A and B are shown apart, each in its own frame.
Chain A
Amino acid sequence: MIFGLSIVFVLTSILTVAGALAAALLKNLVHCALSLTVTFAGLALLYLQLDAQFAGFSQILVYIGAVAILVVFAILLTRGAGVPEYRNFSSSWLAGLAIAAGVFALLAWAVIKSLPASAASSAAPQVSVQQIGLALMSNYVLPLEIVAVLLTVALIGAVIVAMPESQKSKTESAQGGGK
């Protein structure tokens, strides 16, 4: 126990923050993406410590399995691998750093100031996947449908945006010819 926190929590939070810092500071973009994966894994471990097993495993599936791979593919497709030809940080990096530090100071001050010194630790909630499925199909069925539509629209939109111009005009003329 360190400051009343479990050692597992301290180790995973150090891993998470170190991954995020590495993503902020490393020069090679592929290394940034890989340290981002470390951060996502650390967050999944934190979810597991919070007894949110479903959210933890969906974090691993969605973020490490899909988003990190997507980021790596985007870096390789835009030839961002290796040391870039321009400087890594923008000219106004000092202002950005100051804003981020200010936001962190404000959030930390609010957290320390507002929470009671000794919160009653409740018993671990027993949440089965069946309960989550039932809740998704009863209480949360409208948000579920909206998310389904959003994902469909976003994937179609991403494909259309990233499609090469010549192919896009070809399909448009093909549609026009069909009419």
Chain B
Amino acid sequence: MTPLAAFLIVAALVFAIGLAISLTRRNAILVLIGIELMLNAANLNLIAFWRFGPHPEALTGMMFAIFSIAVAAAEAAVGLGLVIAYHRHKKTTDLDAMTRMKG
């Protein structure tokens, strides 16, 4: 197995675990954790392709990963703020109990 394939397999594994967390857990905070894991797996893919690509001196994949880290931090702040706001109204973080958010 080449190093690139190994890194991509690890990233796919982390992505699948993140997807499983956000699809199966009932707590809203854990769903956000799953989304963070999926974003991290995408970052690992970007950096692995940058490292083993033909032009690593162009810094493209690295820049993608750095911007994606910044966007993920903003997403975490807004998501957790929403969870705290919902908890203040309804005293729950259970997604199955959030029937008011069905629209």
Contacts and interface: CB of A to CB of B under 8 A. Distances in A.
Q: Do A and B bind each other?
A: yes
Interface of A: 3-5, 9, 13, 16-17, 20-21, 23-24, 29, 32-33, 36, 39-40, 43, 46-47, 50-52, 54-55, 58-59, 62-63, 66-67, 70-71, 73-75, 77-78, 80, 84, 86-93, 95-97, 99-101, 103-104, 107-108, 111-112, 115-119, 121-122, 125, 127, 131-132, 135-136, 140, 143, 147, 150-151, 154-155, 157-159, 161-162, 164-165
A108 B10 contact: no
Nearest to B61: A52
Determine the main DSSP class of A at the interface with B: helix
A89 B23 CA distance: 9
Interface residues of B, number: 72
Contact of A74 (B8, B29, B43): B29
A86 B70 CA distance: 34
Given A20-B37, A74-B83, A58 B29 contact: no
A155 B76 CA distance: 10
A150 B52 contact: no
B6 A13 contact: yes
A97 B47 CA distance: 28
Contact of B15 (A99, A103, A150): A103
Contacts of B81: 157-159, 161-162
A118 B16 contact: no
| Chain B interface mostly | helix
Which 6 residue pairs are nearest across A and B when measured between Cβ atoms? A96-B23, A104-B16, A154-B74, A100-B20, A158-B81, A125-B56
A96 B54 CA distance: 38
Contacts of B77: 70, 154-155, 158
26 contacts: A4-B1, A13-B10, A20-B14, A24-B25, A50-B51, A52-B50, A54-B62, A55-B47, A67-B73, A67-B76, A71-B33, A71-B80, A74-B83, A77-B87, A87-B26, A90-B96, A92-B24, A96-B19, A97-B20, A111-B5, A121-B3, A122-B54, A125-B51, A131-B59, A132-B66, A147-B67
